[in-house]
Every structure is written in C-alpha cells, then in structure tokens.
C-alpha cells in the first residue's frame, strides 16, 4: 500500500466523530443505565492502567444454572450499548444463543489515563501490536493481550458462569487490528472473531504475524468474519489482500467470511456488520438427520396450559405454536434442534424403544419441559 493511502487511512481515525463514552454518561444527572450490567474495575499488573469492564449477563441468568458463551468487546466506551442491543435482538430471533458480554475500556490511572482517559492516546498504545513512529506510545499490544489473557478472562470465568470453550472477540478499527493480532499471537484464546474495518495499514499491518504463524502451523480452527464499509476504499483493498493471503494458505478448520456494507463508512458499518458477523460465526453447521429418527419426534407436546405440535414435511421438522406459526427445527444433533424467528432450543428426550417421551425447551427466560401426548 502506498504511503499516501496509509496516511489517509490513519487520518480517518481522527476525523470520525466519536459517540459520548459510557463513563461520561454515567456521571450525567439522570443517566440511563443498561439493565443486567455490572461495572468491574481492574488495574493491569503490566502497565498500572485501570481498565473498566462492563459485564452484561443475559435474561434469566440469575435463576439459570447453565454456562454461557462470552463476547469480549473492545472500545466499550463507544460500542457497548450498541452491541448489547444487537445481541439481545439476535438472541430473541434465535440467531445467537444467550451470552455474557464483556466490554473493555479504559479508566483512570496509567499513562495517558487520568480522570478523563484520552482514548485516542490509549487506543494507539494498547491496540497496536507494532511500534509506529508517528505515535510514540504505540506498540504495546502484546501487553494488552497479556492483560486480557491473564487477568480479564480469568476474572470473568471465575466470577461468572462463562464457558471457557466459547469465547468471541469483537472490535472495530484499531481494535480490529488488535483482534487479528490476537488471532495469530494467541491461537486458541478465542474461538470466534467479528472484526470491523481493521486498520491493516498501520506499521506493517498484520502480515508479519500471520507469516510467522504460518511458518509453524497449518491449522487455524476459528470462525472469522471481517466487515468494512463500501466508502472505505483503502481499507477494502487492504482487507482483500489480507483475506486472499489467508485463503491461499488453505488453513484447515478456518471458516472465513467477509462483507462490504453498502452506503457505510468506518463507524457506520458496525450495526449491520456486527449483526451479520454474529450470525455468521454462530451459525450452526448443516446437519442431515435420517427420516426414521425424525419420525420419532412427530406429535403433540403438552406445556403448562397449552400444547405445541411437531410435524414433518419434506424431511424436515417444524414446530407449530398455538397461534399457528410454523418454525423450522434446525438440527445440531440427532436430539437437539433450534429455531429461527424466536430463541428456542429443543432437546428431545427418549422413552421406551427410542421413541420421544417429551422435549426440554430452552428459552431466554429458562427451560421448560413438555411431555409428548397421544
């Protein structure tokens, strides 16, 4: 990439308007707070910087016993309210499971911190893996990644019912650069990545880290989604080059998808990009179930006060609710299915001779059992 294009890409970071940070909103009189959200303060042992963690738990968390996937979000000072709303909507429609959301941002203290953190300074310090001469504080990405790995994730997984085998990292801009660095520097730390407009033109981008990883590994078992706005011409070219290089490696187990959002820029691509990204990285893989097994589940199921029906049509199962709406039951195993259009995960229970005895239905508010009836 030419130096002029690289300068243009970096300049965009300072010209874009930034939403008012959550930390400032919380100090305003009559501020609106996000339900089911806690503020945790953690001081990094690496740099003495105080970080704020906004931890949002899903509906029904207090009465449930199950563990949840965790979505780690960078630049929470801007994007946390947006992502909470998007995730809750996607959960309601059955596109993603209920999950814990951990937004990471900067508090007071540490270099560039203070009472009102200088986000511009701190982002170039913590979110860049490589030193760039224009920003003397840059290149401390390895310290920030170590902080997330050794301090943030252990705190979340000890204090909350967080699944340690299902972590997602979501980020935009410099955060997207950092996320891709984490992908190659700490393989296995995260299972899914949703990356928006990564600043790949900064200080050599991510190519050296990917090349180093490729020199010793042929597997990359992650689900990676990258989005960019269609007006971001320099970023589009960078992302195309990067994804072409990844595809040429033929990494085993890598699931890669990209999206160019129409009529969107560096920040405005996030709502659609984050939605499509979450749908992509959480999409269950296609699975075909033998019709003889599906036949076992056809019938009526008695819930408290109402019944629902499971029917088979063209080798697929459908759930019919009392109002008459049909929802396709998508299989994830021979006994487990999920719907789209509402969040509902159906676990069929077997009785005598392998026939269905009932189904355990997981919904945002908890689980309910329905026995199969004649």
Question: How many domains does the chain fold into?
Answer: 2
Tell me if residue 229 falls in helix, strand or coil.
strand
Tell me if residue 189 falls in helix, strand or coil.
coil
Token digits of residue 137: 């504080």
Instruction: Taking residues 106-114, report their average pLDDT.
Output: 64
* Residue 286 resides in a domain: no
Confidence of residue 121 (pLDDT cuts 50, 70, 90): very high
Question: What number of other Cβ atoms are within 10 A of residue 20's Cβ?
Answer: 10
Measure the CA–CA gap between 269 and 262, rounded to whole angstroms. Answer: 8
* Residue 168 resides in a domain: yes
Higher pLDDT residue, 301 or 13?
301
Please indicate, yes or no, whether residues 215 and 321 belong to a single structural domain of this protein: no
Percentage of the chain modeled with pLDDT above 70? 90
Give the pLDDT confidence score for residue 23 in this predicted structure: 45
Picking from 370, 16, 359, the residue whose alpha carbon sits closest to that of residue 196 is 16
As to burial, measured by CB atoms within 10 angstroms (0-12 exposed, 13-18 middle, 19+ buried), residue 262 is exposed
CATH number for position 328: 2.40.128.50
The neighbouring-strand residues paired with 302 are 307, 371
Please indicate, yes or no, whether residues 127 and 81 belong to a single structural domain of this protein: yes
Q: Which of 281, 307, 342 delimits the end of a domain?
A: 281
Question: What number of other Cβ atoms are within 10 A of residue 239's Cβ?
Answer: 21
DSSP secondary structure, 142-173, as one string: HHHHHHIIIIIHHHHHHHS-EEEEEEEEEEET
Question: What number of other Cβ atoms are within 10 A of residue 154's Cβ?
Answer: 12
Give the pLDDT confidence score for residue 47 in this predicted structure: 87
Measure the CA–CA gap between 28 and 217, rounded to whole angstroms. Answer: 50
Task: Tell me the pTM.
Answer: 0.84
Q: Which range is least confidently modeled, 61-65, 238-242, 346-350?
A: 61-65
Please indicate, yes or no, whether residues 144 and 228 belong to a single structural domain of this protein: yes
Q: Which helix (H) or strand (E) holds 301?
A: strand 299-303
Measure the CA–CA gap between 338 and 319, rounded to whole angstroms. Answer: 10
Please indicate, yes or no, whether residues 246 and 357 belong to a single structural domain of this protein: no
Please indicate, yes or no, whether residues 240 and 314 belong to a single structural domain of this protein: no
Instruction: Taking residues 157-169, report their average pLDDT.
Output: 97
Q: Which range is least confidently modeled, 1-5, 61-65, 120-124, 314-318?
A: 1-5
Give the pLDDT confidence score for residue 2 in this predicted structure: 35
Is the model's pLDDT at 19 over the cut of 50? no
Please indicate, yes or no, whether residues 35 and 58 belong to a single structural domain of this protein: yes
Please indicate, yes or no, whether residues 166 and 303 belong to a single structural domain of this protein: no
CB within 8 A of 45, min separation 6: which ones?
Answer: 147, 151
Please indicate, yes or no, whether residues 297 and 198 belong to a single structural domain of this protein: no
Confidence of residue 33 (pLDDT cuts 50, 70, 90): confident
Instruction: Taking residues 246-257, report their average pLDDT.
Output: 94
* Residue 321 resides in a domain: yes
Instruction: Taking residues 66-91, report their average pLDDT.
Output: 96
CA neighbours closer than 13 Å in the CB half-sphere of residue 306: 8
Measure the CA–CA gap between 235 and 238, rounded to whole angstroms. Answer: 5
Give the pLDDT confidence score for residue 153 in this predicted structure: 98
Q: Which of 281, 299, 316 delimits the end of a domain?
A: 281
The tens digit of pLDDT for each residue in 4-13 reads 333 333 333 3
Is the model's pLDDT at 29 over the cut of 90? no
Give the pLDDT confidence score for residue 110 in this predicted structure: 53
Picking from 153, 42, 155, the residue whose alpha carbon sits closest to that of residue 106 is 42
Measure the CA–CA gap between 257 and 277, rounded to whole angstroms. Answer: 8
Mean residue pLDDT across the chain = 89
Give the pLDDT confidence score for residue 6 in this predicted structure: 31
Please indicate, yes or no, whether residues 53 and 159 belong to a single structural domain of this protein: yes
Instruction: Taking residues 305-310, report their average pLDDT.
Output: 94
Is the model's pLDDT at 69 over the cut of 70? yes
Please indicate, yes or no, whether residues 325 and 263 belong to a single structural domain of this protein: no
Is the model's pLDDT at 259 over the cut of 80? yes
CATH number for position 233: 3.40.50.1820
Please indicate, yes or no, whether residues 263 and 347 belong to a single structural domain of this protein: no
Query: Residue 303: which domain range?
Result: 291-373
Measure the CA–CA gap between 78 and 374, rounded to whole angstroms. Answer: 54
Give the pLDDT confidence score for residue 265 in this predicted structure: 95
Token digits of residue 292: 């003889």
Please indicate, yes or no, whether residues 91 and 45 belong to a single structural domain of this protein: yes
Is the model's pLDDT at 133 over the cut of 50? yes
* Residue 8 resides in a domain: yes
Measure the CA–CA gap between 111 and 125, rounded to whole angstroms. Answer: 9
Q: Which of 246, 281, 316 delimits the end of a domain?
A: 281
Q: Which helix (H) or strand (E) holds 259?
A: strand 255-261
DSSP secondary structure, 51-110, as one string: EEEEEE--TTGGG----EEEEEEE-HHHHHHHHHHHHHHHHHTTSS---EEEEEEE-SSS
Give the pLDDT confidence score for residue 165 in this predicted structure: 94
Give the pLDDT confidence score for residue 278 in this predicted structure: 98
* Residue 48 resides in a domain: yes
Is the model's pLDDT at 271 over the cut of 80? yes
Picking from 20, 194, 193, 42, the residue whose alpha carbon sits closest to that of residue 119 is 20
Instruction: Taking residues 276-295, report their average pLDDT.
Output: 93
């Amino acid at each position: 990439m030419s130096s002029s294009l690289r300068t243009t890409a970096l300049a965009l970071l300072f010209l874009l308007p930034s939403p008012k940070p959550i930390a400032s909103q919380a100090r305003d009189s009559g501020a609106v707070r996000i339900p089911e959200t806690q503020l945790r303060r953690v001081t990094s042992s690496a740099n003495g910087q105080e970080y704020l963690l906004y931890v949002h738990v899903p509906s029904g968390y207090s009465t449930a016993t199950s563990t949840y996937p965790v979505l780690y979000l960078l630049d929470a000072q801007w994007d946390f309210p947006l992502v909470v709303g998007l995730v809750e909507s996607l959960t309601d429609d059955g596109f993603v499971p209920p999950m814990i959301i951990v937004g990471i941002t900067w508090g007071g203290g540490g270099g560039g911190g203070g009472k009102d953190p200088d986000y511009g300074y701190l982002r170039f310090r913590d979110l860049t893996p490589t030193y760039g001469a224009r920003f003397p504080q840059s290149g401390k990405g390895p310290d920030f990644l170590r902080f997330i790995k050794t301090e943030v994730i252990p705190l979340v997984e000890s204090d909350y019912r967080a699944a340690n085998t299902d972590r997602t990292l979501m980020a935009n801009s410099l955060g997207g650069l950092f996320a891709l660095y984490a992908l190659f520097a700490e393989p296995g730390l995260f299972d899914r990545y949703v990356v928006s407009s990564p600043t790949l033109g900064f200080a050599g981008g991510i190519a050296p880290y990917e090349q180093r990883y490729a020199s010793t590994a042929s597997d990359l078992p992650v689900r990676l989604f990258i989005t960019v706005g269609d007006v971001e011409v320099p970023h589009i070219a960078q992302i195309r080059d990067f994804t072409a290089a990844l595809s040429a490696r033929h990494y085993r187990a890598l699931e890669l998808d990209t999206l160019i959002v129409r009529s969107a820029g560096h920040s405005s691509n996030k709502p659609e990009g984050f939605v499509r990204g979450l749908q992509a990285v959480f999409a269950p893989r296609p699975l075909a179930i033998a019709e003889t097994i599906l036949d076992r589940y056809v019938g009526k199921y008695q819930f408290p006060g109402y019944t629902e029906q499971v029917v088979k049509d063209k080798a697929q199962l459908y759930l019919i609710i009392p109002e008459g709406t049909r929802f396709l039951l998508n299989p994830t195993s021979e006994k487990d299915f999920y719907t789209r259009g509402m969040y509902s995960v159906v676990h069929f229970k077997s009785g005598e001779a392998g026939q269905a005895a009932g189904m355990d239905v997981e919904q945002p508010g908890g689980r309910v059992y329905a026995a199969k009836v004649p």
